[in-house]
Copies of this chain bind each other. A is one copy, B any other.
Amino acid sequence: MVDRIRRIPEATVARLPVYLRSLAELVDEKIATVSSERLAEMAGVNAAKVRKDLSYLGSYGTRGVGYDVEYLLFQMSRELGLTHDWPVAIVGAGNLGQALANYGGFTQRGFPVAVLVDADASKVGQIIHGVRVHHIDELPELSATLGIGIGIIATPASAAQDVADRLVAAGVASILNFAPAVISVPDGTSLRKVDLALELQILSFYQEHRDLESDGAPPHQAPLAPG
């Protein structure tokens, strides 16, 4: 495979972290090699998809043998940009923001919560789960000083667009939005959304339509969001 213009499909990018997690488990179990079949089982997809996905990263497998777990883990980490930490800022120190600040999974996976930010002056100065709350007006300085690469919006929907604008203005180029609102960002800014109630509404649809269908509707299997 020629090494040029390897644009990785969005659907594949969305699955790479799942493979990564599976590989990390294999490392823990001291397993040195893994087949696409085994990896597929762990990731909850099929083997052809695993092979196709991994092929976008390069030819890192060995025919007749499988993939070297550690080597593949390293290559994938590199491709995902996970060889260094990405400090994040959480905007909104309410219930959700506080819970996220306390969620160990972020730091553990290389996304230390460097700062909490809120518009409410009475919250500023508090230390929540070891993270200091700053006023949102300080975002530009904080962003530069702490090297914030990712902003998490955990505010009410009504504030979300304004917060997004401020994050962008502060130089934060990646945003994860938990507010139940559609927000828009300029080209060059990455945006993903997590809408909790929306997920339940989707489940509601499939529950409501369960065995209403006469003929072999597949049970609902949510794939990972592309992107």
Contacts and interface: CB of A to CB of B under 8 A. Distances in A.
Interface string A172-209: 01111000101010011111111111111111111111
B204 A199 contact: no
A209 to B, nearest CB: 8
A199 B176 contact: yes
Given A106-B197, A205-B80, A42 B182 contact: yes
A103 interface: yes
Given A203-B176, A223-B227, A194 B196 contact: yes
A146 interface: no
A23 interface: no
A64 interface: no
Size class of the contact patch on chain A: 35 or more
A88 B13 contact: no
A63 interface: no
A98 B196 CA distance: 14
A95 B100 CA distance: 9
Given A111-B204, A149-B204, A150-B200, 14 more contacts: A7-B217, A17-B202, A80-B201, A86-B200, A88-B200, A95-B102, A106-B197, A149-B207, A174-B206, A190-B203, A190-B206, A190-B210, A190-B219, A190-B220
In the A-B complex, the 5 residue pairs with the smallest Cβ-Cβ separation, listed nearest first, are A81-B208, A99-B99, A222-B227, A225-B225, A190-B220
